[in-house]
Amino acid sequence: MSRIGKKPVVIPENVEIKIEKGSFRAKGKLGELHMDFDSEAIGITEEKGRLLVRPFSGSKETRSKYGLYRSLIQNMVTGVSSGFSKSLKFVGVGYRVNLKGSDLEILVGYSNPVIFKKPEGITFEVPDNTTIKVKGIDRQLVGEVASRIRRIRPPEPYKGKGIRYVDETVRRKVGKAAVSTKA
């Protein structure tokens, strides 16, 4: 049995849960999320402000879905109640970011600025011109958008320049050693 799947999901007071045949909805102060699940493999029950996920059989496929669905439900409940965010930092001379309307204008050493369109369900905050905060209620979407921004100019190992997560450490490499010539 999954150790994660056994844990109950605690429902905050400001979150409404709706469980139907093969469908799960979570609605909170930040928005609403919906997920379809395999109702023949697992069952979701609500009791005393907690959600319990139970497998219907002991097959390998059911056991693999059991912990996954519990984690997805936990992320949905957390997302609609408090939301998720990822922070990115720009490191390099002249590397900066600006908010143009709802889109990002990213300057990272290319001849033209990169315009990054804001996806539905995501908000950007730019506290200073070298930091971005990607916020949203869907954990997967927040991580994906942050990853796509990072891919514009990933950090390079020699000088450490590029776009990185705030908590990320970049392992630096030693450059070429100078060769002395004796004639």
Average pLDDT over the chain, rounded to an integer: 90
pLDDT at site 180: 65
Residue-range domains of the chain with CATH: 3-81 (3.90.930.12), 84-165 (3.90.930.12)
Mean pLDDT of 93-99: 94
Mean pLDDT of 7-25: 90
128 falls in which pLDDT band (50, 70, 90)? very high
Q: Give the angle 71-147-161 at the CA atoms, nearest 5°.
A: 140
- What percent of the chain shows pLDDT beyond 90? 64
pLDDT at site 183: 61
Q: pTM, whole model, 2 decimals?
A: 0.86
